[in-house]
Amino acid sequence: MTQGPIENPVINSPFVEPVQHFVTTADGTVTGEIEPRRRPSEFFVPVARPKKLSGQLTIDAFGGPKRQQPNEIVNEIRQAVARWRIQDYPHITSTTRDLLDHWRDEDRERRLFFCQLEAAETAMYLTEAAEKLGDPKALNVIRQENAVHNGDLPRFAFKMATGSGKTVLMAMLIAWQALNKAANPQDRRFSDKFLVVTPGITIRDRLRVLYPNDPGNYYRAMDIVTPEQLDRLQAATILVTNFHALMRREKIQAAALTKKILSAGDVDDERFRETPAEMVRRVCRVFGNARNLVVLNDEAHHCYAPAPRDEAQEGALDADERTQAKKDLDEARVWLSGV
């Protein structure tokens, strides 16, 4: 939403850190006023409007009032990464330095966007430099959240706008991890095994560019690595699949009535489905017995834990919206539990 048309909405170069932004009001409305600094990371929590006395909703029940909330830890990480960049990236491996020099070369034919570079820098900073620089706060926050929500499984999330080049970033992260692993196989911070999970078959096929041996691979097409580095990257094991593969399949073929009788009417009887371990062995058989596996969850907003039940919000949805919400939640459970 805007208070009026903005004639020139592009006010920053995509190749350098933003230096200005359009001011937004507390409800998320974009104004034409420009503030001379980068926009802090924040999000807007929608607030449901009350129902009318008739029981019907007011128009645009969730498109109106919002609550503005800053992403404090994200802003702190941005500042820490910026300081680290100015210091010329201390406490990194020689392989990481070679990649950063290659990516940040202003004379390269295909320059990378600042958002791509910053996201890769952030992963590198948190993995290689943060603790050595005495900056454990972000890592501690991430570990605490992972302990609460992810069973201590380490997860990092990078939020990028549509069209900003997330697939290129995935190629950058794979190259960084795999080349470091090739240079030092004993370093457990790195891996050369990658499972890329996508929301559908179409996107899975589009992400074939992440295979180093694919004719159209992004490592060469987007100049992510040098020809010599691309040769070393061939040793990496990469699997691109869609989230449906994480569904536990039926392993006993029987008619519905037979299953109903055998399970005493329990439609969720576990005996007819793969165990979680069997599902993992099926999906990850290409990795053998490897344990140090990096999972790249493409379009990770599909993967979330269910929010506390909000009867007011549920009541604001019509029948089709409730059906879609249930479908989305079922798919999110598969993504979350499967990964």
Residues 318-335 pLDDT 10s: 666 666 666 666 655 655
One domain, residues 76 and 148: yes
The answer to whether 12 and 33 have CB atoms below 8 angstroms apart is no
One domain, residues 116 and 37: no
Stated as kind and residue range, the H or E segment containing 197 is strand 193-198
Average pLDDT of the chain? 82
The per-residue pLDDT for 279 is 81
**Is residue 42 a part of any domain in this protein?**
yes
One domain, residues 88 and 160: yes
One domain, residues 32 and 115: no
Q: Tell me how far CA of residue 202 lies from CA of 70, 196, 205, 206, 241, in angstroms.
A: 35, 14, 5, 6, 10
Final residue in a domain of this structure, among 122, 148, 164: 164
Final residue in a domain of this structure, among 35, 70, 105: 70
Range of the domain at 77: 72-164
The per-residue pLDDT for 313 is 53
One domain, residues 79 and 155: yes
Band of the pLDDT at 316, cuts 50, 70, 90?
low
Number of compact structural domains in the chain: 2
